[in-house]
Amino acid sequence: MNREPLFNVPGIVLAFIVAFVLIHVVRLWLLSDAQDVQVLLLFAFIPARYDASLFAAGGLPGGFAAEVWTFVTYAFLHANWPHVGLNTLWFLPFGSALARRFGAVRFILFFLVTAAAGALVHLLTHSGEQFPVIGASAAISGAMAAAMRFAFQRGGPLGFFRGADDEAYRVPALPLSGVLRDPRILMFLLVWFGINFVFGSGSLSLPGEDQPIAWQAHVGGFVAGLVLFSLFDPVRSPKRID
């Protein structure tokens, strides 16, 4: 009988998690409060950065370059250890499934694109806001959405008739048009959007975190992951004959 290892996490997923942890350790234990504020001003996503009328006297530090890089660098910063832990908990299963299918390079690009999509949606819905947005939740939401495209398929990692381990991550993906016809995916969508609605309404919040959850960024990353999955997917689906 073949046995799968208990901890079988792709190296690129572990690398991301280590980066999250190390960056938070540096901010928490090696930087002063003033230095940490500078890190947030340079690398967090702040909608006010794109409103020249609010910062006419030179704007936020980093200039035009920060206007570009903060679309992705914010995803590597976290508010506190519960924030790091919660994102890691969600990132491990969905990120691992996607990394096994995409490979490291495609996975990195996908992470960056979905993080940027989340930041863009947050910018469109919070124009001029000065609260910094941090955390990998938008990109992780994108990984969740992308994993739905193949994880529930016959022979997939969550399918009823699962094949060998490697084969389970190479099954043909569900076409976008079929996503809303699968009851398991519909249930997943209902639960996911329900959780985000609860956090967005302020009924729940992260431990030790007073600021509202940037749920619009989650939605932006999720929709981008669902729609853009095929652009990154190396597994070609067989052509159908009508």
**For 19-28, how does the pLDDT look when each residue is reduced to its tens digit (9 = 90+)?**
999 999 999 9
Question: How crowded is residue 181: how many other Cβ atoms within 10 Å of its Cβ?
Answer: 10
Rounded Cα distance between 203 and 239, Å, is 46
Contact 39, 70 (CB under 8 A): no
Q: What amino acid is encoded at 161 in this protein? A: F
Cα torsion for 208, 214, 218, 221, to the nearest 10°? Answer: -120
Structural domains of the chain, ranges and CATH numbers in brackets? 11-232 (1.20.1540.10)
Model confidence over 88-134: pLDDT tens digits? 999 999 999 999 999 999 999 999 999 999 999 999 999 888 889 99
Whole-angstrom Cα distance, residue 114 to residue 72?
9
How far apart CA 224 and CA 231 sit, in angstroms, is 11
State what percent of residues in the chain have pLDDT above 70. 82
- Sorting pLDDT into bands at 50, 70 and 90, what band is 174? confident
Q: Where do runs of H (alpha helix) occur along 103-162?
A: 104-125, 137-151
Of 100-104, 140-144, 161-165, 191-195, which gets the smallest average pLDDT?
161-165
Q: How far apart are CA 115 and CA 117, in angstroms?
A: 5
Residue 12 near residue 92 (C-beta atoms within 8 A)? no
More confident residue, 209 or 170: 170
pLDDT computed for residue 158 by the predictor? 65
Beta-carbon neighbour count of residue 77 at 10 Å?
24
The DSSP symbol for 208 reads: T
Residue with tokens 């702040």: 46
Amino acid (one-letter) located at 15: A
Say if residues 71 and 47 touch (Cβ distance below 8 Å): no
Rounded Cα gap, residues 8 and 5, in angstroms: 6
Contact 154, 161 (CB under 8 A): yes
pLDDT band at residue 210 under the 50/70/90 scheme: low
**Band of pLDDT at residue 196, cut at 50, 70 and 90:** confident
pTM as predicted: 0.86
Token pair for 100: 């096994």
